[in-house]
């Protein structure tokens, strides 16, 4: 099957969301010298495709996009798109403080047959709703690929207000939004947008909220843990979609164990990212190194991660 | 029926939560001179009881407790408890920066046959988890009534970490927690506590999250809108409990309209409180005045509230 | 000499500030059972008077006012005022979330011959400038003693904007403002108010900023370290007033050592308060106990405090 | 005179700071199509040089560096350096979330004979002190030009703690720090570093704090208003250096009028930048356009700026 994101008008007639399921915010495997671990990229992509995920989102926060030099971003787009062989859609993060740089990334995404781009707000200046609206309209007007909005106020300082999302959802080139705010009230307000635009995809960032979001009407999740356990998150999406509460409870317990045992070992800012990358390293999939300015967690905390990872792997096997 | 909150041990054997349903965070009706609108209190209590709510929570944030002088708090406890005539359980907010003042309020609650007390953290100094744990143990040890914790970091500066809640849930005199953080990840972590302590009641503050919280395993809500429309929130609780997704969608749409049309008209801090009190005033239930330091919103915004209220009343009638 | 704060009109003709010098935010000595250490209060007051401070400010943040029960506040006002014997003016903190409680404290201050009251904003609800202006006008209108404003956004959530201070400075019963924000730009904006109202006293909270504030035109400081070393801060005030840069440099180095060595040993919220109280305990002046909800720092950190205290005492002796 | 920043060892023997005076954070003149207004750049640079400023800092926050595409940054470095003709030292902002991009900018700065580079923290991820230290050591080790640190927590989320600055000040390639936090306590703590490293330059960002900072021992300011009125800020620096309190008071009044009348007209995030650029446009120096994502303020607010500018120009003339 060749995946192509359909033009928005088609969705409008169909009332189906532009994207549904698990879109993995893929890590960027790096060598210790900071260069791209290209073999690692290929293995991660294959791991995710085999796990049955509905989409791969490269160059997001989990992908450490802001920390990468342009050449790495370019290579990552090429290799990821090539490796999926158009069978799993690739979404490319183009978040940048410069509009021109974002558009350049979008053109590169298009050339490599990615299906859409994802953009958080420029993250240096705090913005008001007027700035935000004008910025996204400019970006969507000029992007050669459909655009997903990305709300992450902890990183970008500003929230895309529900009223602004409603106005932006009208734009023919804006397909959906990923919310990583963790704010349950905000997300419920966003969901009302689907009454007017059923094809507007609403995806939730924090995996701890995946099931409750889908039960409330969300279209899926962009969940970092799917780097390690892709099929687990796909199963959770399906369980929530099918309102299979027993299955949800079983998987939710595992997801919270991943969150606690793998992401939260160290108080360092890099704790979550180290958790994901150390797990993939343990599984033989890619190198564990982080790009500066994030520095690694202690050896003691790394050992705790592996200890929890082993316990979780056993539990998943016996699911 | 005479309601008595059972000793915690009984719950432990039964695996039923200490409290389930809608606990209304009751407004404090005030005259324009700042004195208690006693007839208003009686009418509000009757309005809530007739609406079928499972509990009445006086002296919370919606009750403007921190702004009231001690004599008003005392009168409010007496009148509310008397008016319910032990048929609807009364919960008394004892949040205060001084432990001694909190305990005095708890004793007054006990004397008037309230069933439990509710305490947010002392809200002047920022606290660490050690401070928080020690504080709540002191309070629970000395309180003559069972204690509900109340997490509201926007007001108190500090969050009661899930690990701290887990430790506190062991305490024989701590029955549950109300979370008003709006943080969806935090709430999912709290819900894990019920695997160990099924009788520990978890209630959600923001009404926009009521259904999703109950679907996820929460025991109910402490929702301000229930002051105006008590039976609507009771119905939402039941719909979520019964996993009646069609009904949930119908009521959720109304709850979001209340949130937008009644609470969010003005950018002022008092916007939500004015929305609730102006609505009750329009319905002939009590006076609309706020206690200082909150000042009222503009006349224009008040008119918008009434305009939306009328529309919502019509929609509720035709439910 | 009997000190009486002159009516504001007199200042206006004289262009002299309502208060000038060091106003010590006095600790509240407590026994381990939480009761007031009355002998300790007397000794602290004598220690401060002998140190030559220009004012004593009881029931502020350093005085843990929000954590005290009403009876302790009442006793503290009585004992402090009596012990100064009208020779050092006493300022009484009346900060409270309830306007009525603040006014009651102000009446108690008046009865005991305090010279003025000090009020930060009610600290539960976030307030806008309109709320803030109306609140302070209500308070100043009804207070039987002149009022000092107290800006401390880290504790109260809201900043009293310079424009609001300018409007409030006109009020006949508002004498000045203490700023604990630590914000250098804000403080410079406040200083412009003195061009219009030279008698309006501007005092700086953080002692690290005392000299620079006075060099810029401030009238003094409300500095916690003056509990331990009253005459050191009086000397710093005079050095800054006299633009004696050599002396300023010498004392500033000590003040920064106090800040680092005594206040900042522990990451706990109580670190500063423990530093002050442990120092006074070491000097044989009062008990070191804190009121809940603050819990004490570790023994190791207490030992570090004493170690630094001893070094600082030697340096002060050789000044 | 050809300016060359001396190697740090030379300063160490001399006890003179690496930089002293006013370093202007230069705006980036842009055409309405987003391209660089090259003639505008030349005119701004000449305007600043004629105003007698001690340094020109391009590609900072006022220079909207994060919003520019790489080609504009490159051109700006070339034109600015060429136009100063080595008579006024040029400092180049290399702040970026990617270390590699920062180093590339540093090499470009070196090639064009800039004297030093300035780097705030990478501004996407929040960092701890360990991350911060390691990051700056990596940057300083590899930068071909001396490095100034730049503390701006409102933009970068993290503060460079005084202890970390002290450790970094030892590095042979780190010359000083610009602080835009506005935090008076923090700045006093930084000043202690000069006791150990007198040659370490400490510069203050907010111009409202320029005089008080220099009186306290700072080496100068990086003040946006110097784009419009370069000689005014140079005079303020000199007045503070000479402890000429009468002159300081006179100029401080103007600086606060600039802050209020030109920077604070609109609540929009772009208010300050619009104020500076509209003023330069009015003076015939360069185009007023902003780079996205900042959007312009209202026409009404622009008119207010010009009204205040005209008043201030008259006052400056009569100084």
- DSSP codes of every residue in B252-280: HHHHHHHIIIIISSSSSTTHHHHHHHHHH
**Average pLDDT, stretch C133-144?**
98
End-to-end CA distance of chain B: 30
- DSSP labels, C240-304: HHTT-HHHHHHHHHHHHHHIIIIISSSSSTTHHHHHHHHHHHHTTSS--PPPTT--PPPHHHHHH
Q: What tokens appear for B137 in the block?
A: 């143990």
Classify residue B213 by burial, with Cβ atoms within 10 Å: 0-12, 13-18, 19+: buried
CB A288 within 8 A of CB A309: no
Among A159, A180, A185, A254, most B C-beta atoms within 10 A, so best to mutate, is A185
User: How much of chain B exceeds pLDDT 70, in percent?
Assistant: 96
Residues in C closer than 8 angstroms to D186, CB to CB, are 182
Reply yes or no: is the peptide bond before residue C296 cis, omega within 30 of 0.
no
In angstroms, rounded to a whole number, what is the distance separating the alpha carbons of residues A303 and C178? 51
D181 CA: distance to closest CA in chain A (Å): 15
pLDDT in tens, A154-191: 999 999 999 999 999 999 999 999 999 999 999 999 99
- pLDDT at C236 (0 to 100): 98
CB A288 within 8 A of CB A274: yes
What is the pairing mode between strands D21-25 and D220-221? Answer: parallel
Does chain D touch chain B (at least 3 C-beta pairs within 8 Å)? no
In angstroms, rounded to a whole number, what is the distance separating the alpha carbons of residues A14 and A282? 44
- pLDDT at A318 (0 to 100): 85
Residue A135 to residue D269, Cβ atoms within 8 A: no
pLDDT over 50 (residue B277): yes
Residue with tokens 């005033």, as numbered in its chain:
B281
Helix (H) or strand (E) holding B105, with range, is helix B99-111
In angstroms, rounded to a whole number, what is the distance separating the alpha carbons of residues C225 and A118? 53
CB D3 within 8 A of CB D86: yes
Residue A195 to residue B253, Cβ atoms within 8 A: yes
User: How much of chain C exceeds pLDDT 90, in percent?
Assistant: 93
Q: Which residue of D has its CA nearest to C184?
A: D184
pLDDT over 60 (residue B12): no
pLDDT over 70 (residue D11): no
A132 CA: distance to closest CA in chain D (Å): 7
pLDDT in tens, D194-241: 999 999 999 999 999 999 999 999 999 999 999 999 999 999 999 999
- pLDDT at D59 (0 to 100): 98
pLDDT in tens, B41-60: 999 999 999 999 999 999 99
- pLDDT at C2 (0 to 100): 42
Residue B212 to residue A188, Cβ atoms within 8 A: yes
Among A125, A130, A274, most D C-beta atoms within 10 A, so best to mutate, is A125
**D306-309, long-range: CB < 8 A, 24+ apart:** D306/D278, D306/D279, D306/D282, D307/D261, D308/D257, D308/D260, D308/D261, D308/D262, D308/D265, D309/D228, D309/D261, D309/D262, D309/D279, D309/D282
User: How much of chain A exceeds pLDDT 90, in percent?
Assistant: 93
Confidence of residue A1 (pLDDT cuts 50, 70, 90): very low
Closest to D59 measured CA to CA, from D79, D39, D43, D82: D79
Q: What tokens appear for D291 in the block?
A: 């780079």
C159 CA: distance to closest CA in chain B (Å): 14
Helix (H) or strand (E) holding A92, with range, is strand A90-93
Q: Which residue of D has its CA nearest to A152?
A: D124
Q: Three-class SS of residue A19?
A: coil
- pLDDT at A6 (0 to 100): 57
Three-class SS of A245-265? HHHHHHHHHHHHHHHHHHHCC
CB C51 within 8 A of CB C230: yes
**Average pLDDT, stretch B79-95?**
95
Q: Which residue of B has its CA nearest to C136?
A: B293
B222 CA: distance to closest CA in chain C (Å): 19
Q: What tokens appear for B259 in the block?
A: 């949130």
pLDDT in tens, C176-223: 999 999 999 999 999 999 999 999 999 999 999 999 999 999 999 999
Residues in D closer than 8 angstroms to C260, CB to CB, are 189
Confidence of residue A46 (pLDDT cuts 50, 70, 90): very high
- pLDDT at D15 (0 to 100): 72
Mark out chain A residues that contact chain B at CB-CB < 8 A.
182-189, 192, 195, 206, 208-209, 211-213, 215-217, 243, 245, 249, 252-253, 256, 259-260
- pLDDT at A9 (0 to 100): 56
Q: Three-class SS of residue D90?
A: strand
Residue A67 to residue D155, Cβ atoms within 8 A: no
Chains with 3+ CB–CB pairs under 8 A to A are B, D
Residues in A closer than 8 angstroms to B245, CB to CB, are 243
Helix (H) or strand (E) holding D310, with range, is helix D299-317
- pLDDT at B85 (0 to 100): 86
Mark out chain A residues that contact chain D at CB-CB < 8 A.
34, 61, 66-70, 97-101, 121-128, 130-132, 134-135, 138, 155, 267-270, 291-295
D304 φ/ψ angles, rounded to the nearest 5 degrees: -60, -40
Beta bridge partners of residue A244, listed in sequence order: none
Residues in B closer than 8 angstroms to A216, CB to CB, are 211-212, 215
Residues in B closer than 8 angstroms to A185, CB to CB, are 182, 206, 208-209
D122 CA: distance to closest CA in chain A (Å): 7
State chain C's mean pLDDT as an integer: 95
Residue B155 to residue C124, Cβ atoms within 8 A: yes
Closest to C238 measured CA to CA, from C63, C51, C15: C51
In angstroms, rounded to a whole number, what is the distance separating the alpha carbons of residues B272 and B262? 7
Helix (H) or strand (E) holding A113, with range, is none
Residue C189 to residue D256, Cβ atoms within 8 A: yes
pLDDT in tens, C245-295: 999 999 999 999 999 999 999 999 999 999 999 999 999 999 999 999 999
D209 φ/ψ angles, rounded to the nearest 5 degrees: -100, 0
User: How much of chain D exceeds pLDDT 90, in percent?
Assistant: 93
- pLDDT at C85 (0 to 100): 86
Residues in A closer than 8 angstroms to B259, CB to CB, are 189
pLDDT in tens, A48-85: 999 999 999 999 999 999 999 999 999 999 999 999 98
Q: What tokens appear for C196 in the block?
A: 């219009």
pLDDT over 80 (residue D82): yes
Reply yes or no: is the peptide bond before residue A293 cis, omega within 30 of 0.
yes
- DSSP labels, C126-160: ---HHHHHHHHHHHHHH-SS-EEEEE-HHHHS---
Mark out chain D residues that contact chain C at CB-CB < 8 A.
182-189, 192, 195, 206, 208-209, 211-213, 215-217, 243, 245, 249, 252-253, 256, 259-260
Helices (H), chain A: 8-14, 38-50, 70-84, 99-111, 129-142, 153-156, 162-168, 184-191, 193-196, 210-215, 230-241, 245-258, 271-282, 299-317
In angstroms, rounded to a whole number, what is the distance separating the alpha carbons of residues A130 and A112? 33
CB B122 within 8 A of CB C67: yes
State chain B's mean pLDDT as an integer: 95
Confidence of residue A132 (pLDDT cuts 50, 70, 90): very high
How many residues would you count in chain A?
319
Residue with tokens 């923001």, as numbered in its chain:
B206
Confidence of residue B238 (pLDDT cuts 50, 70, 90): very high
Residues in D closer than 8 angstroms to C189, CB to CB, are 208, 256, 259-260
State chain A's mean pLDDT as an integer: 95
- pLDDT at B319 (0 to 100): 80
Which residues, 6+ apart, have CB-to-CB distance to C22 below 8 Å? C53, C54, C55, C220, C221, C222, C223, C226, C230, C233, C234, C237
- pLDDT at A248 (0 to 100): 98
Residues in D closer than 8 angstroms to A66, CB to CB, are 97-98, 122, 124-125
Confidence of residue C13 (pLDDT cuts 50, 70, 90): low
**Average pLDDT, stretch A216-241?**
98
CB B149 within 8 A of CB B222: no
- pLDDT at C6 (0 to 100): 56
């Amino acid at each position: 099957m060749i995946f192509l994101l359909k033009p928005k008008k088609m969705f409008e007639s169909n009332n189906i969301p532009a994207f549904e399921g698990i879109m993995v915010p893929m890590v960027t495997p790096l060598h210790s010298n900071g260069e791209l671990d290209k073999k690692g990229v290929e293995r991660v992509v294959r791991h995710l495709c085999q796990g049955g995920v509905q989409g791969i989102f490269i160059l997001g926060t989990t992908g450490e996009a802001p920390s990468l030099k342009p050449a790495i971003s370019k290579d990552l787009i090429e290799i990821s798109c090539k490796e999926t062989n158009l069978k799993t859609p690739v979404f490319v993060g183009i978040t940048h403080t410069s509009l021109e740089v974002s558009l350049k990334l979008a053109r590169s995404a298009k050339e490599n047959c990615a299906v859409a781009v994802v953009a958080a707000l420029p993250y240096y200046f705090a913005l008001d709703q007027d700035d935000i609206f004008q910025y996204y309209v400019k970006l969507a007007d000029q992007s050669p690929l459909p655009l997903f909005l990305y709300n992450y106020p902890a990183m970008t300082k500003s929230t895309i207000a529900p009223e602004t999302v409603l106005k932006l959802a009208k734009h023919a080139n804006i397909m959906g939004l990923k919310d990583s705010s963790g704010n349950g009230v905000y997300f419920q307000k966003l969901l009302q947008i689907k009454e007017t635009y059923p094809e507007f995809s609403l995806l939730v960032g924090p995996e701890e909220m995946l099931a409750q979001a889908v039960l409330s009407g969300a279209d899926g999740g962009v969940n970092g843990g799917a780097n390690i356990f892709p099929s687990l998150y796909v199963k959770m999406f399906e369980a929530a979609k099918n309102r299979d509460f027993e299955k949800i409870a079983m998987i939710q317990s595992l997801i919270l164990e991943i969150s606690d045992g793998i992401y939260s070992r160290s108080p360092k800012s890099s704790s979550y990212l180290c958790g994901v990358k150390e797990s993939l390293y343990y599984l033989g999939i890619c190198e564990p190194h982080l790009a500066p300015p994030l520095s690694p967690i202690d050896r003691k905390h790394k050992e705790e991660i592996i200890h929890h990872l082993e316990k979780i792997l056993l539990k998943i096997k016996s699911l």
